[in-house]
Amino acid sequence: FFDLYERLKLIDHEPVMRATGDAPVPLDMGLEMLTKRGFTPAMLERWEITYNEDIGAIEIPCYDVDDHLLGYICRMPEGVQPKYRLPEGFQKKAVLFGMHKLMSVRSVNVILVEGPLDAIWLQEAGFPAVAILGSRLSIEQVTILHDLNFRSIILCFDNDAPGRVATAVAVGLIGAAALWPWSMSLPGKYKDIQEVPIDEIPALYEARHVAVNEQGLVPRTLQRWLGQELAEAEVGSIWRY
């Protein structure tokens, strides 16, 4: 029984150099999958991510806004569907994964993504992000965002047809709650934000735009000015625009 850091040290980070004969099999193949995608042992330790050998899946703990453990999200191996499995009775419509780590952060902006690994990736890059745990934003989740005084909701869903549909639906829900919907577009070569190298994320964030049905709400020439004004405005004065 190793602690997480010791187990991660046993991962084979260079499989191409592994002997094909009697070489030992890495202990945590699931964690190796994450390290290949750019997650470091320190990141996994901060998020308490482990590998459950009994079920052959990664376990990601999920907490509510008060830091109470709700259960473990299982990330299944590549090729196994569905990719994520939730505990029985888990009310994902009322949960925003990663929000517990933002409660001490004073921000009116938050990025919404689909999966927990996407949220972790953005938070590790220094951006406030939470996952809706699926491709459909719920009214309950929008209520949480409103009640926690977030005002600019930046959508960064998967770069595929379901993700685009999810964005269009979310824009309507966010606007109906008197919040500002924004879009953070991914380059065509990336399926989701977790595929984007961390050093490229700031540029994508700077290129975000206010959106309605994925279209600019204001002329492009005014978007940067409006974004700066919103970012600098007091929460109570945002609506003068």
The residue extents of the domains of the chain are 1-90, 92-241
User: Where are the alpha helices (H) located in the chain, listed in sequence order?
Assistant: 4-9, 29-36, 41-46, 116-124, 139-147, 161-176, 201-206, 220-232
For residue 221, what pLDDT is reported? 53
Work out the mean pLDDT of the chain and round it to a whole number: 82
Quote the tokens at residue 124.
């590790």
| Residue 1, pLDDT above cutoff 60 | no
pLDDT tens-digit profile of 95-129? 999 999 999 887 899 999 999 999 999 999 999 99
| Residue 238, pLDDT above cutoff 80 | no
Quote the tokens at residue 144.
């949480």
> Residue 172: what residue type?
G
For residue 75, what pLDDT is reported? 94
pLDDT tens-digit profile of 6-36? 444 443 333 333 333 444 434 455 688 899 9
**End-to-end Cα spacing for the chain:** 58
The contacts of residue 57 (CB under 8 Å, 6+ apart) are 30, 51, 74, 75, 76, 77, 85
| Residue 235, pLDDT above cutoff 50 | no
Residue of 230, 152, 161 lying closest to 184 (CA atoms): 152
* Length reported for the chain: 241
CATH code for the domain defined by 92-241: 3.40.1360.10
Our CA angle for 25, 73, 153, nearest 5°, is: 125
Q: How far apart are CA 140 and CA 119, in angstroms?
A: 19
Which of 67-71, 173-177, 216-220 bottoms out in mean pLDDT, i.e. has the lowest? 216-220
| Residue 227, pLDDT above cutoff 80 | no
Q: Which residue has the higher pLDDT, 130 or 33?
A: 130
